[in-house]
Amino acid sequence: MDNQEAVAQIDHIHTLWEQLTRELTDVLDAHGVCAAVTYEIAVFTGVRTVVVLSGPPDKYFDAWICDGNGDLQQARWNDVQPALDTLRAPGGAVRQEKMALPAAEIIDSDLWVLVEDDVLFVPLPFPTGRSSNVPQGGICLLDPPDQCPLNQSNIETLATHITIFLDRAFLRQEIDRQQVEFDIVYDLTYSLTATLKKENILNQLIDPVRRILNVEAISIGLVEETTGDIIFEETLMGPLFQKLPPVRLRPGQGIAGVVAESGESLIINNVYKDERFFPKVDTQSGFRTESIICVPLQVEGRVIGILEAINKRNGNFNQTDLRLLQAIASPLAAAIENARLHGDVLAEKRRVETIFSIMPEGMLTVNAEGRVTEANEALLTLMGYQTDEPLVGNPASEVIRVRSGEELDGFMEKVREAHGENPQVASDIEHASGGSVPVLISGASIQDEEGELSEMIFVFSDLRQIRELERMRDDFFHNIVHELRTPLATILMYARLLREGKAQDDEAKADRFLGVIERESDRLQQMVRQMLQLAKMEAREIQRSSERVELNHLFDDLLPPLADRAVERGLVFSQKIQPELPPIVGSQEMIYSVLKNLVENAVKFTISGSVRVEAKRRDGMVRVLVQDEGIGIPEEAQPNLFKRFYRAQTAVERGIAGTGLGLYMVKEAVERHRGSIQVESVEGEGSTFVIELPAAEE
C-alpha cells in the first residue's frame, strides 16, 4: 500500500467513525449499540460481521450477525467461551485461521461454523473496576478479504471507540436499575410501615423482592425468643413445604443460623460446596437450593431473624444484590418488630379486659378529668344497671352516688394525691332501685411517662355478705349470753337458797335444789361443749379432713351406751345396721356427733315407747333413719328446728334439758358432707329423722 492509498483509507475509515458516532449518540442501551455497530461495520466493509457480548457470567453470550448486504440477525450462544478463548491474544486484535484451530469441537462451535477460512477478531476493552460484572465481548470479521479497510492495525482503535459507547450504555443501565431498586425499597418501606399485621408485611414484600432480585424464592426466619432457634415463616415456603413440619434451625445451624448468630450477611453461590449449608431441609422438601444470599434482620443491634433470597435465576448473587437485600432488611425488621409489639399490646389489652370483666368485684376506670371510661359487669350488677350507659362518659362523682361518709369527689382527690398508696373507704353506694349497697372502695392512680395522672381505677367490694356475717355473729353472741344467763341465774338462785338455809331441815327439798343445780350445770356444760364443736366446724376444719369413716365401727361405739340409757328409761330400743356399710369420706368426729345427737334426741324426747335406728346402703348413699314414739314436734315448729338455739315450746314446757344447738350442727355437718337431712313428725306420736350421706367410691 503506497502513501496515497493509506491516506485514502484513513479518510475512508473516518467515514465509518463519523457514521458510528452519529448513530450511537442517542443509543443508550447496550443491545442497541451492538446491533448498530455490527450493521455499520458489515455494510462499511462488505464483510460478514459478528459482535458478541457476554450476558450474565457463566450463562450465555448474545451475538449480532450481519452480512455485507446489511442483513442483521441476533442469536444467543450458550457455549461460545472456548471459541472466544482461541481468539484472545495478548496484543488485542488477532487474525486466526480455521485450519490452525486446536480441537474439532471448537470448529463446531456457534462462531466457527460460520467461518470458512479465517477470522479477524478484536476484544472490546471494557474498563475494569465497575460495581457489577465487567462484560466480555468482541468484534469478529469473518473471512475478510486482504484489502478490507479494517485490519489488525486499525480495528483496535475502533474497538476502543465503540467500548466508550457501550460502557456509557451499561452505566446508564445500571443507573436505571438503581433507580428501580431505590423505588422498590422506597415503596416497600412505605407499605411496610403502613401495616401492623405480620402476614400482610410478608405478603407485600415477597413478590417485589423476588422480581427485582430475579430469584426463585424468598424466605424469612424469625428468632424464637425462648430458644434462640430460627423458625421459618411457613406462609412463604411454597407448596413443597406445605405438608412438612415448620423448618427450624438451631443458633449457628445452617447458613441462616450462622447469619443470625454472627449478625453478618453471607453470599453463597454454590451451597452444596459450603459446609455451613444444612441440606436436610432440601432432602425433606425436594427443593433444590443452589445459591443463597442471607442478611440478618436487626432491631437496635439485636438479631430478630434473617431474610434469604434463594437461587438467582441468571448468574451469581453479587454485591449489588446484597446491598439491595440489606436495604430492604432494615425496614422489614422494624416492621416485624412493630407488628410483634403491637401483637403483645393487643394480647395484654385482652388480658386486662378479661380480668376486668370476670372480676367478682366491681371495677371502674376514670380518666384524668374524672369521667367514667369503663365499668365492669360486676359493678353494673352491684348498682342495679343493665348496661354501662348511665355511667360511661359521665363524671364519676355524679353517677356513683355515695351515701355516707365522704363524697366520692373527696375520695378521688385522695387517690389523685396518694402516690404509690391505694386509699380505701367503706361507704354505701346508691342502687338503681333506690336502696343502697355497702361497699369498700379501693382506688389507685395511673401516671403517664411524665408522671401526670392519666387514669384512676376503683374497685368496689360488696360488703353485704360480710355485713350479714357480722350480724349473724352479733346475734350468736347475743343468744349465747342469753342462753348462758338463764341456767347460771337458776344455779345461783338455788345455791343461795341452800346457803341461806332454806332447805335446812328438809332433805327432800335440799335434794330437789341440788338436782336443779346439777341439771342446769349439765346443760351449761353441754352447751359449752356443743358451742366448741360448732366453732370448730365453722372454722371449716371439716373441709380439710377427708378421712374414710367406717360407719359400722362408729355405730358399734355409739349405740350400746345409748341403748342402755333407753332401756334404763323403760323404752324399747331396736337397731338394724346393715353389715359392711360402705365408708364415707369426711370427718369421723363430725359424723359421730351427728348420729349421737339424733339418737340422743330420740331417747330424750320419748317418754314411753320405742326408739329405732336403721342404716343401709341405697343408690350410692348411706341412709340412716332414727325413729321414735316420743312427744313429736308441732307443725309450726318444724321450719325452725335447724336454727341455732331453737327449741320447740313442747320441749321447753316439759322441762327437757337442751341447748337448741344440736340439730343446727347436725344439718351443717350433713350438708358439708354433701348429704341431706329430712324430718317427719306428728305431735304426740313421734318423729323420724332421715339422713343420707354419699358413700365413698370404691
Binding site for ligand ADP (CB under 6 A): 597, 601-602, 605, 628, 630-633, 641, 646-648, 651, 658-664, 687
Shortest Å, Cβ 635 to ligand ADP = 12
Shortest Å, Cβ 661 to ligand ADP = 6
CB nearest ligand ADP: which residue?
658
Q: Which is nearer to ligand ADP, 593 or 597 (CB)?
A: 597
Q: Which is nearer to ligand ADP, 503 or 679 (CB)?
A: 679
Q: Which is nearer to ligand ADP, 167 or 628 (CB)?
A: 628
Pairwise CA distance, residues 319 & 325, whole Å: 10
Question: Which one, of 440, 315, 247, lies nearest residue 55 by Cα?
Answer: 315
Shortest Å, Cβ 560 to ligand ADP = 20
Q: Which is nearer to ligand ADP, 202 or 669 (CB)?
A: 669
Shortest Å, Cβ 435 to ligand ADP = 35
Shortest Å, Cβ 417 to ligand ADP = 55
Please name the residue that has the C-alpha cell 426466619: 221
Q: Which is nearer to ligand ADP, 285 or 659 (CB)?
A: 659
Asked whether 428 and 403 are in contact (CB, 8 A), the reply is yes
Question: Which one, of 554, 571, 557, 485, lies nearest residue 523 by Cα?
Answer: 485
Beta-carbon contacts of residue 686 (< 8 Å; ≥ 6 apart):
606, 609, 627, 628, 629, 630, 632
Shortest Å, Cβ 354 to ligand ADP = 47
- Angle, helices 507-538/464-499, rounded to nearest 10 degrees: 160
DSSP string, 523-550: HHHHHHHHHHHHHHHHTTHHHH--EEE-
Q: Which is nearer to ligand ADP, 491 or 651 (CB)?
A: 651
How many CB atoms sit inside 10 A of residue 250's CB?
Answer: 14
Burial class (CB in 10 A: 0-12, 13-18, 19+), 484: middle
DSSP string, 6-42: HHHHHHHHHHHHHHHHHHHTT--SHHHHHHHHHHHHH
Shortest Å, Cβ 663 to ligand ADP = 3
Shortest Å, Cβ 628 to ligand ADP = 5
Pairwise CA distance, residues 7 & 675, whole Å: 130
Q: Which is nearer to ligand ADP, 197 or 643 (CB)?
A: 643
Phi, psi angle pair for 305, to nearest 5°: 170, -170
Asked whether 219 and 237 are in contact (CB, 8 A), the reply is yes
Q: Which is nearer to ligand ADP, 247 or 595 (CB)?
A: 595
Q: Which is nearer to ligand ADP, 437 or 661 (CB)?
A: 661
Shortest Å, Cβ 584 to ligand ADP = 22
Please name the residue that has the C-alpha cell 401516671: 447
Q: Which is nearer to ligand ADP, 328 or 661 (CB)?
A: 661
Alpha helices in 115-197 (DSSP H): 155-193
Pairwise CA distance, residues 592 & 475, whole Å: 28
Asked whether 35 and 72 are in contact (CB, 8 A), the reply is yes
DSSP state of 696: P
Residue 520 CA, chain-centre distance (Å), reads 69
Pairwise CA distance, residues 136 & 681, whole Å: 117
Shortest Å, Cβ 581 to ligand ADP = 23
Shortest Å, Cβ 445 to ligand ADP = 53
Q: Which is nearer to ligand ADP, 94 or 641 (CB)?
A: 641
